[in-house]
């Protein structure tokens, strides 16, 4: 067993070898030395400092290039090249010079393309391990994002191929799938039009991120919650830009949908952190373990339902254990919170979130021994993915989420249906000193009397139980509220 002292000596020895190579005091002449150099590179504790050494020393970049050419076997790609690419994914390197330093480090790996062609071939033949597949996807994204003009053409052509995109988007690894979505979103519509800036516009961060908010599923996907990218929001300055004109209402609705939905997802993410052990805490929802697929549920012939997948609960429901068979259904009828109808749940396979179905509460099926629980999936693609994974795993769990999705759902659906904003002229297009339109009905008689009552008791005029004397500014505020379609009163009238 390695000891801390032996580990320290190993790292010190690797660092010495690394420095000797990049300064030209030792040359890489064999596959063994090349692998040792890559190990030494990945052992550097400061990625930014390591990048600086590679770029500024006499043999830094040439040694990096040589180290990935000695051996082009799949074993090398999986065991040595993948850790290198993982190391280069450090945010500390990406942030230097707006990515220009990272581009300098990647160029020797792909030009001439001996290493790159071997990596592409292994990916297409599906011989790379999950880490190497993720590294390939990341490298491809960098190449189509950082290259320009003719230099990007071969990488764009590769990324556009059906085979590559299919393998990326259907990968069993969530991180690789999200990179696939970014690659798909980065592909230009025209070969001469390279708009490759996935971070500055909506769409492409994962499989549920679209430019049109109406295409976004209200229920999240597993890849969406695995994504570490910040969601897309427009700032208030953008919405208020006078150049938007008639499109301001559409942008406002889109933004409100994204903001409200992210509020819902924030609660779900916190629950998932507790469920997967990322964050300490106690989850209040019901957790059901040891599930297996039992069949499908489409309702009765006279009353069809959106069809769902039936899972048999081999371990029984926690609330029904040791409950007599004759009392199980009555207990469920009296406790509606147990697998509440329409509540959102998380399907975990091998402790990883796979889908977020809703629960169809069939008390007859739930009261059986063992119970059956029906899950309804938001779309066929999500359901298909879940079914495939259930065939290769025995660790299947269902967790009823505590997030009140039902309280968000009707408002999010309404925002997806809206095409204009009520009172949009006043709320979105009003400018200072612009005269507000009045409502179709105005209480002219009472307004006239109020204008003559400034500083006087309004108790009798307004039929109040107590005296109410308004000063000039308070009276103006009250009259404005009665004569405009939209008004904003800040604090008690007359106070700033």
Among the listed ranges 10-19, 386-395, 418-427, which one has the minimum average pLDDT value?
A: 418-427
What number is the average pLDDT over the span 383-403? 85
The answer on 103 and 200 residing in a single domain is yes
Cα distance between residue 365 and residue 375, in whole Å: 12
Do both 20 and 58 map to the same domain?
yes
CB 339 within 8 A of CB 286: yes
91 with 123, same domain: the answer is yes
Q: Is residue 494 part of a domain?
A: no
Indicate the pLDDT class of residue 152, thresholds 50, 70 and 90. Answer: low
Rounded to the nearest 5°, which phi and psi values hold at 98?
55, 35
Scan for tokens 């107590």, then name that residue. Answer: 466
**257 vs 321, higher pLDDT:** 257
Enclosing domain of residue 368? 287-401
Instruction: Give the model's pLDDT for residue 245.
Output: 63
Q: Does residue 322 share a domain with residue 388?
A: yes
In a domain, 148, yes or no: yes
Residue 291 has pLDDT above 70, yes or no: yes
Give residue-wise pLDDT tens across range 476-494: 888 888 888 887 777 765 4
pLDDT greater than 80 at residue 84: yes
Asked if the structure places residue 6 within a domain, the reply is no
In this prediction, residue 190 carries a pLDDT of 42
pLDDT of residue 62: 93
Count structural domains, the chain: 4
At residue 122, does pLDDT exceed 90? Answer: yes
111 lies in some domain: yes
- State mean pLDDT over 334-344: 83
The answer on pLDDT for 41 being more than 80 is yes
48 in a structural domain: yes
Residues 441-467 have a mean pLDDT of 80
127 shares its domain with 27? yes
Give residue-wise pLDDT tens across range 182-214. Answer: 888 777 644 333 333 444 577 778 888 888 888
What pLDDT does residue 189 have?
A: 44
Boundary (domain end) residue, out of 212, 236, 271? 212
Distance of CA 476 to CAs 435, 439, 463, 482, 488, Å? 15, 17, 20, 10, 12
- pLDDT band, very low/low/confident/very high, at 254 (cuts 50, 70, 90): confident
Residue 1 inside a domain? The answer is no
| CATH number of residue 344's parent domain | 2.40.30
Q: Please, which pLDDT band fits residue 317 given cuts at 50, 70 and 90?
A: confident
Residue 48 pLDDT > 50: yes
Residue 91 lies in a domain: yes
Do 26 and 111 belong to one domain?
A: yes
Q: Which residue has the tokens 């959106």?
A: 306
More confident position, 335 or 47: 47
Q: How high is the pLDDT of residue 192?
A: 35
Highest mean pLDDT among 56-60, 246-250, 344-348: 56-60
- For residues 94 and 230, membership in a common domain is answered with no
Of residues 462 and 150, more confidently modeled: 462
Same domain (yes/no): 299, 413:
no
Calculate the dihedral angle through the C-alpha atoms of 361, 364, 370, 376, rounding to the nearest 10 degrees.
Answer: -30
- The answer to whether residues 304 and 423 belong to one domain is no
Of 18 and 95, more confident: 18
CA dihedral 165, 168, 174, 176 (to 10 degrees): -110
Residue 296 has pLDDT above 50, yes or no: yes
> For 342-392, how does the pLDDT look when each residue is reduced to its tens digit (9 = 90+)?
888 888 888 888 888 888 888 888 888 888 999 988 778 888 888 888 888
- Within this chain, do residues 278 and 301 fall inside the same structural domain, yes or no? no
* Over residues 229-242, mean pLDDT: 77
Q: What pLDDT score does 22 carry?
A: 93
Last residue of a domain, one of 183, 212, 241: 212
Percent of the chain beyond pLDDT 90?
27
> What value does the mean pLDDT of the chain take?
83
Least confident of 121-130, 380-389, 432-441, 444-453: 432-441
Do residues 218 and 207 share a domain? Answer: no
Chosen domain end from 189, 212, 235: 212
* Edge-to-edge strands, sheet with 352-355: 287-288, 396-400, 345-349, 352-355
Residues 177 and 28 in one domain: yes
pLDDT, residue 197, reads 41
pLDDT at 150 over 70: no
In a domain, 119, yes or no: yes
């Amino acid at each position: 067993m390695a000891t801390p002292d032996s580990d320290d000596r190993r790292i010190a020895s690797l660092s010495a070898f690394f420095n000797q190579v990049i300064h030209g005091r030792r040359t890489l002449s064999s596959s063994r030395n090349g692998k040792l150099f890559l190990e030494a590179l990945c052992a550097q504790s400061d990625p930014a400092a390591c990048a600086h050494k590679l770029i500024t020393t006499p043999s830094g970049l040439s040694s990096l290039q040589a180290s990935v050419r000695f051996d082009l076997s799949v074993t090398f790609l999986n065991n040595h090249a993948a850790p290198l690419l993982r190391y280069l994914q450090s945010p500390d390197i990406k942030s230097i010079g707006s990515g220009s330093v990272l581009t300098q480090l990647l160029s020797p790996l792909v030009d001439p393309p001996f290493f790159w062609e071997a990596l592409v071939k292994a990916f297409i033949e599906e011989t790379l391990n999950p880490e190497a597949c993720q590294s390939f996807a990341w490298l491809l994204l960098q190449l189509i994002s950082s290259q320009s003009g003719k230099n990007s053409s071969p990488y764009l052509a590769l990324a556009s191929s059906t085979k590559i995109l299919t393998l990326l988007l259907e990968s069993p690894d969530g991180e690789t799938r999200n990179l696939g979505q970014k690659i798909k979103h980065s592909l230009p519509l025209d070969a001469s039009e390279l708009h490759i800036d996935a971070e500055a516009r909506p769409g492409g961060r994962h499989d549920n991120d679209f430019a049109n908010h109406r295409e976004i599923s209200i229920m999240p996907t597993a890849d969406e919650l695995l994504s570490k990218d910040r969601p897309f929001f427009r700032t208030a300055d953008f919405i208020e830009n006078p150049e938007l004109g008639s499109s301001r209402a559409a942008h406002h609705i889109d933004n409100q949908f994204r903001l409200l939905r992210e509020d819902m997802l924030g609660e779900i993410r916190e629950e998932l952190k507790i469920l997967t052990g990322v964050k300490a805490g106690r989850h209040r929802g019901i957790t059901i373990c040891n599930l297996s697929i039992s069949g499908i549920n489409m309702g009765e012939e006279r009353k069809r339902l959106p069809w769902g997948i039936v899972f048999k609960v081999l371990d029984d429901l926690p609330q029904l254990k040791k409950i007599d068979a004759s009392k199980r259904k009555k207990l469920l009828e009296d406790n509606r919170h147990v697998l509440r109808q329409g509540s959102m749940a998380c399907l975990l396979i091998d402790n990883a979130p796979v889908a977020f179905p809703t629960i169809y509460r069939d008390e007859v099926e739930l009261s059986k021994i063992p119970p059956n629980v029906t899950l309804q999936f938001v779309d066929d693609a999500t359901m298909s993915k879940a079914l495939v994974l259930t065939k290769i795993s025995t660790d299947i769990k269902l967790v009823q989420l505590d997030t009140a999705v039902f309280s968000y759902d009707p408002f999010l659906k309404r925002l997806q249906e809206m095409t204009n904003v009520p009172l949009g002229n006043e709320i979105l297009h009003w400018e200072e000193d612009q005269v507000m339109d009045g409502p179709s009905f105005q209480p002219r008689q009472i307004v006239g009397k109020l204008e003559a009552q400034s500083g006087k008791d309004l108790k009798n005029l307004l039929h109040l139980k107590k005296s109410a004397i308004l000063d000039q500014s308070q009276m103006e505020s009250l009259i404005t509220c009665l004569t405009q379609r939209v008004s904003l009163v800040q604090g008690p009238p007359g106070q700033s």
